[in-house]
Structure 1
Amino acid sequence: MFPNPFSNQAFLKETPIGSSEGIVIKFDLISVVFLMQLFDRFRTGVNHLEEAEPGKRLAQLKARGQKNLFSFDRYVPSAGWLVKAWEASDDDLYACGGIDGLVFLKMIVFCIRIFSVAAVLCIFLVLPVNLFGQGIQQINAESQMDIFTIRNVQEGSKGLWAHFFALYVISICSYVLLYIEFKSVARMRLEQVIRFPTRPSHFTVLVRGIPWIPGLSYSEAVSKHFGSYYVSSYLAHQMVYRSGTIQRLMMDAEKMYKVLKDTPINQYLAPTTVGCGQCAGHSNSFKMLTCESDSDVKKPNQQNEPDLKEQECAAAFVFFRTRYAAMVASRTIQVLDPMLWVIEFAPEPHDVYWENLCVPYRLLWIRKTLVFIGSIIFSLWFLLPTTLVQGLVNIAQLESTFPFLRGISQKSYANIVQGYLPSLVLTCFALIVPPVMLMFATLEGAISRSSRKKSACNKSIIFFFWNVFFYNLFTGTWWDRITRFTVTGLKDMATLLGNLIPGQASFFMTYVMTTGWASLAWELMQPYVLIVNWIFQFVLMRKEGFGDLYTFPYHTEVPRTLLFALLGFTFSTLAPLILPFLLVYYFFAYFVYRNQILNVYITRYNTNGLYWPVAHNAMIFSLIVMQGVAAIIFGMKDFGTASTFTFVLIIFTSLFNVFCRHKFLPLFKNNAAQDLIEMDRHDEHSGKIEEILPRLLASYYQFGPYSGNHPSDLLSADYKKCGENPVVVTKPKEHETSRDPATTTISGSKL
């Protein structure tokens, strides 16, 4: 006969659903339902709201000509967007979000799968053991949630075998799923190279740290170096210039000049008797001057060439005739000083972050050091709101520490202050973290927008893991337990952690609801983007809106998804009640993010799946934390056998991580030489190389088309310009005349 865990009167008076956790559930459900209803109104509302809706992709509004604006169907809640998000194929998602979009959805699917297994196993096996454990003799308002955690299991209880079994099953399932997903993403990357064989980045490298040679410009130094050591493969190069405010204004003026020059003007006006202004002259009384001859006007290239040479940076894009030659150059140290002639594969043209290319390569380590120091200072500052949050959670300890707060726990709003307010405060402060980390990534000198966002993602993950998870664990119930625990060694620290971690399950449950559930509703609605678009379109009268917000915020969403995965792994066997809340979040996120990728965000650039190694490392870290915490608690509960085998599991997890990194990670850093050589041979035999190389030269422009030294002005000796068009190049062959420029004009490549 099992003892009755509900016999305590304190538990009967105040159940968890009626306490602060229940308040959080009610608030979050109301906010989620309200925002979803508001989203449904904006999605099917009247035309002026449709015009302000941010970023439509596949789900363009079908009938702008619908006249019945007051149709009853428009105001009936609809789940059509859920159905469309579910029915969308991987090809549709790939077309809209690229590999990065699919990888992000794979993270969510992985979490759904592993936490579904954990929920079934822990809810029906581990939770009853916790509930009937009788490890807590007296239940009060502060420990009412502890009855559902491992803290309620007595020391040496045989029921701990259930926790040990669940721990092993979850770990083994994680290994299998992580291996499958890592292999799948690696295969997608290989297919990406073959699917887009003509991408300019396959033939282009970025050279930084170009040495200053007396008597030579940087451009001439590049020509001399690559013309000497890469004679058979060097094609051309494009210098990088300092881009300041004045340069941008000059380029804008040049573009305006071209627009006005190409605009036809009617020089023959019929006479009219209508006066013009105050002088009462005729409207055609102005004398129309003839345009200057083209020979009197300097060409932009000729006019700006001396100025641009003075603006050259020690960086350049170098083009090669074959993909394999570009790969060899990017993997080779050029001179004895590794700080000179630093070569790496160039990002895609739309992905280049031009502002950082002129940063001297020798100063990058100083920037990274300063960013590291700034990150530490920012983390220390963030401890203040985290401590405030835990103070609100432990309001009884605040009353004992600060006498002027006594009696606040007896107020009617105490549950809101203790339950909803801490998570809300932490969520509000956490909103500033991704923008700050994006700024840090920019200061580090990222050469591409995708690498900048990926670096910000890594920094945000580390920040959230430490400040939101670990620091909250250490400070969560410290005030309550510091008087009962004296830390004198590692054993006392392990005992303290064993008591602290399960006790924080209640706070993290409310955090999942506040930050997870509500954030998905806000993501679906996007009120900030909607307001900004209203301002741009109806106040500033700009038709294009605020497009910079349309790229997917991986640096915001990936850290949040992985942080919840860390919470799920850590508390799955300790406090299984958190798993249903996490599953609700991930199921909802699966539909919301599919809809956002399909209909809201655009993909200007991507990392080609580099977010998956980040997710893999975070999952491995979460597994090790789960297993380490379980080993500590097993030891504290006098269950030494399980503790020993759990440490063995930690070793196996580390070995599994090493195996995956050696097997798959090289595919995320380099392309296979076999594929590149086969594509080069195919292009050479089919004649496509003659089309690819001219198009390649028109890809990388810093100030817009035809400004500055074009790569065709810096061609190797085997190539020459054809006609007056600076982007038309041909390779001379024996007994072959030059091609007609009209048939070989090349525009910028579209990716």
Structure 2
Amino acid sequence: MIVSALLTSVGINTALCVMFFALYSILRKQPSNYEVYVPRLLAEGTSKRRSRFNLERLIPSTGWVAKAWRLSEEELLSLSGLDGVVFMRMITFSLKMFTFAGIIGILVLLPVNCWGDQLKSIDVADFVSNSLDVFTISNVNSGSRWLWVHFSAVYIVTGFICIQLFYEYKYISSRRISYFYSSKPQPHHFTILVRSIPTSSSSSISDSVGSFFNELYPSTYLSHVVVRRTSKIRSLLNDAKKLYKTVTQLRSDPTQQKHRRSFSSGLFGRKNSVIEHYEKKLENIEENVRLKQSEASLAGEEARAAFVFFKSRFGAATAVHLQQSVNPTHWITELAPEPSDVYWPFFSESFMRRWISKLVVVFVCILFTILFLIPVVIVQGLTNLSQLEVLFPFLTSILTIKFVSQIVTGYLPSLILQLFLKLVPPAMEFLSSIQGYISHSDIEMSASRKVLWFTIWNVFFATVFSGSILSVLRALLDPKNIPGKLAVAVPAQASFFITYVVTQGWTSVSSELFRVIPFIFSLITRPFTSTDDDFEVPSAPYHKDIPRVLFFGLLGITYFFLAPLILPFLLAYFCLAYIIFRNQFINVYAPKYDTAGKFWPIVHNSMIFSLVLMHIIAVGIFALKKLSLASSLTIPLPLLTLIFNEYCRKRFLPIFVAYSAESLIKKDREDQQNDATMTQFYENLISAYEDPALLPIHYSPDNDSLHTPLISQA
């Protein structure tokens, strides 16, 4: 790829970013778009619709940028919890890392690469016709002493990143402990989930749980709630919710009511209105829901799972970390999530079924990874004009046009790959949801890991090895040749990944601000909805955004000494992300759960992997460039990095797995000083984990009997 093709891609994406920013600053001021751009403020009542027209609405403004910039970490903590803080710390960490690497890369490494003539000398007179390869380490002459500059840069940047990783891990660990100490009594700190409960013909699941924990934990056991099978009820509730919206729309829109009545009079009779028909249907669904809820209270509808409550945090922690039975597949315990974080469809009947589901998901992920190589091969074909002319000879005349060839090689490949990658996060979230995880947060963390590794293998390695799974496997099955093969393949794809950062990075983060899909969906559904209808405030899609940010981090770390030209574009991406995501946390996203920073180990492990990968490439590139001493001296670097990671794993990771006995007992003793508050808390704790499907519904105004509780659980 030549410089002009890169500039074409940069120009297109810069124009798109400016367009997104301008449209956002206008559309966010329109009252009809509040559900899209300020749903959090609208739900909290801090922003109200203004019907009076104002010319200011049509003029782009940048006031939201200043507001996002001034947001302090404590304000962010109150808005989005510690998970939001961790997400933004990941971005600020990346900014620090690539600012430091950028100074070295642009001011030192880039001139060294340009001075070389291994490939060709740089043409200053016709700068835009230069190949991007002249800016990479591939242009430095083999055996040149200037390669020691790259060797020193690898060591310096590795040391800087490890120091920053240590302080970030330490800081977030301390914030997690402080967050725990400052929190009020939380239901999930006193609750565990028990699964694979043994069945008995002589007693119900509820009786078995009560007798078992009363016997083993007589001083700390408080009560329990058995999980019921409610999948059919949830389906009926979804139908009732849709029908209720239809009735509400008909009541609020007389013209729509008249149209539907005339359209359906032959079906329902002229004497009965459409509203009466739907109201009658809604009442029937409510009666059916009530019947199913009553049936769920029977012993036969009990699932082999229960939430068990304890009188202290230490008591719950003791129970969850001990094997409860001589048979380790029975009475399996784990920490309960927050009540609002529970994923109710998760309860599998047996240990074996959950184990099989995990194997199936692994198989499907591998199959999905292999099938995704098809679009990767297509993208790789687009980067090679000669290959395109062979495959599609009828395009030869079009591809000779300079502007068209620049778009095809510089912009189109990354755009196609970006469109295909849109399918990955929802697919991985679905696969994680059927693995038996007990909470939305566990599903998102699992999906984050799946999306991250999928992106690394399919976008990085498959692209580097030209989309061939056989090439990837052949390289991995021959460990001795991995550094050499990476040293040849990775620099060759530098131009693609530079344009990938511009296309996938700049545009995607700008579209996050503009919220393209929610905005289009709002335009389509606006004629059929009322402004008074309830709407759901979205939560931050961590499973989509965290892997994307970490993958750009991997590209920056691996390419900083190979192709330092990528660093300015990465810094631009992270600057955009810093402002845009802070704005989204203020106006759009409301947390549905808070893991208290459990996403950070994913960030840390990804950075360590990126460093080790960079070291392996460095070993191969110095050997390829006939600087064997530098190659040998680089070998200790990945070993030292892994030792550093092992220290961090021993020092900090346990803090993210569970709270210490010291912390738990300290909080329990504080609670003992306020008996009245804890008595009320224990009373509320019993009802905190009731399945929402078993709560009475209030859609029908005439059916007062539905407003009373259906069953009592103990």
TM-based fold match above 0.5: yes
Identical aligned residues as a percent: 37
What's the CA shift for 1:30?
1.1
Q: Match of 1:338?
A: 328
Q: Match of 2:703?
A: none
How far apart, CA to CA, are the structure 2 residues paired with 1:305 and 1:377? Answer: 41
**TM alignment of 1:193-204, pairs within 5 A:** 193-204=180-191
Which amino acid is the alignment partner of residue 103 of structure 1? V
Q: 1:240 to 1:128 in 2, by over 3 A?
A: same
Which amino acid is the alignment partner of residue 220 of structure 1? D
What's the CA shift for 1:488?
13
Write out per-residue CA displacement over residues 188-208 of structure 1, whole angstroms, 9 at most, x where no aligned residue.
211222122310001100000
Q: Match of 1:464?
A: 455
Residue 32 of structure 2 corresponds to residue 48 of structure 1: yes
Q: Match of 2:258?
A: none
How far apart, CA to CA, are the structure 1 residues paired with 2:73 and 2:328? Answer: 43
Residue 654 of structure 2 corresponds to residue 670 of structure 1: no
Residue 484 of structure 2 corresponds to residue 455 of structure 1: no
What is the number of equivalent residue pairs in this alignment? 652
How far apart, CA to CA, are the structure 2 residues paired with 1:220 and 1:608? Answer: 34
- SS where residue 56 of structure 1 aligns? helix
Q: Match of 1:32?
A: 17
Which amino acid is the alignment partner of residue 106 of structure 1? R
How far apart, CA to CA, are the structure 1 residues paired with 2:327 and 2:670? Answer: 37
Q: Is residue 155–residue 637 contact of structure 1 (8 Å, CA) maintained in 2?
A: yes
Q: 1:428 to 1:545 in 2, by over 3 A?
A: farther
Q: Is residue 2–residue 129 contact of structure 2 (8 Å, CA) maintained in 1?
A: no
Q: Match of 2:509?
A: 520
Write out per-residue CA displacement over residues 71-130 of structure 1, whole angstroms, 9 at most, x where no aligned residue.
2x3333311111000111112211221111111111111110010001101111111110
What's the CA shift for 1:497?
2.9
How far apart, CA to CA, are the structure 2 residues paired with 1:178 and 1:81? Answer: 31
Residue 412 of structure 2 corresponds to residue 416 of structure 1: no
- The match for 2:91 among 96, 104, 108 is 108
How far apart, CA to CA, are the structure 2 residues paired with 1:306 and 1:568? Answer: 54
Q: Is residue 533–residue 546 contact of structure 1 (8 Å, CA) maintained in 2?
A: no
Q: Match of 1:265?
A: none
Which amino acid is the alignment partner of residue 31 of structure 1? L
TM-score by length of 1: 0.81
How far apart, CA to CA, are the structure 1 residues paired with 2:240 and 2:132? Answer: 67
- The match for 2:541 among 550, 553, 556 is 553
What's the CA shift for 1:399?
2.8
Residue 564 of structure 2 corresponds to residue 580 of structure 1: no
Q: Match of 1:741?
A: none
Contiguous gaps of at least 5 residues in structure 1? 1-14, 258-277, 281-296, 709-723, 730-751
Residue 45 of structure 2 corresponds to residue 57 of structure 1: no
Q: 1:391 to 1:219 in 2, by over 3 A?
A: same
How far apart, CA to CA, are the structure 2 residues paired with 1:433 and 1:672? Answer: 37
- SS where residue 412 of structure 2 aligns? helix
How far apart, CA to CA, are the structure 2 residues paired with 1:41 and 1:593? Answer: 18
Which amino acid is the alignment partner of residue 41 of structure 1? I
Q: Match of 2:249?
A: none
Q: Match of 2:144?
A: 157
**Higher helix share goes to which structure?**
2
Q: Match of 2:428?
A: 437
**TM alignment of 1:294-305, pairs within 5 A:** 304=294
Residue 675 of structure 2 corresponds to residue 697 of structure 1: no
Q: Is residue 54–residue 530 contact of structure 1 (8 Å, CA) maintained in 2?
A: no
**TM alignment of 1:248-259, pairs within 5 A:** 249=236
Residue 577 of structure 2 corresponds to residue 589 of structure 1: yes
Q: Match of 1:10?
A: none
What's the CA shift for 1:501?
1.3
Q: 1:253 to 1:647 in 2, by over 3 A?
A: closer
Q: 1:556 to 1:464 in 2, by over 3 A?
A: same
Q: 1:302 to 1:644 in 2, by over 3 A?
A: closer
- SS where residue 673 of structure 2 aligns? helix
How far apart, CA to CA, are the structure 2 residues paired with 1:17 and 1:617? Answer: 35
What's the CA shift for 1:247?
6.0
How far apart, CA to CA, are the structure 2 residues paired with 1:657 and 1:219? Answer: 45
- SS where residue 372 of structure 2 aligns? helix
TM-score by length of 2: 0.85
How far apart, CA to CA, are the structure 1 residues paired with 2:407 and 2:453? Answer: 30
Write out per-residue CA displacement over residues 257-310 of structure 1, whole angstroms, 9 at most, x where no aligned residue.
9xxxxxxxxxxxxxxxxxxxx9x9xxxxxxxxxxxxxxxx9xx89992775322
Which amino acid is the alignment partner of residue 587 of structure 2? N
Q: Match of 1:79?
A: 62
- SS where residue 205 of structure 1 aligns? strand
Q: 1:57 to 1:395 in 2, by over 3 A?
A: same
Q: Match of 1:261?
A: none
- SS where residue 224 of structure 2 aligns? strand
Write out per-residue CA displacement over residues 678-735 of structure 1, whole angstroms, 9 at most, x where no aligned residue.
2222222331322221121121110367679xxxxxxxxxxxxxxx999999xxxxxx
- The match for 1:88 among 44, 62, 71 is 71
Name the larger-Rg structure.
1
CA RMSD of aligned residues (A): 3.4
Which amino acid is the alignment partner of residue 98 of structure 2? F
How far apart, CA to CA, are the structure 2 residues paired with 1:249 and 1:584? Answer: 49
- The match for 1:638 among 626, 631, 636 is 626
Q: Is residue 242–residue 358 contact of structure 1 (8 Å, CA) maintained in 2?
A: no
How far apart, CA to CA, are the structure 2 residues paired with 1:247 and 1:506? Answer: 50
What's the CA shift for 1:245?
2.4
Q: Is residue 197–residue 679 contact of structure 1 (8 Å, CA) maintained in 2?
A: no
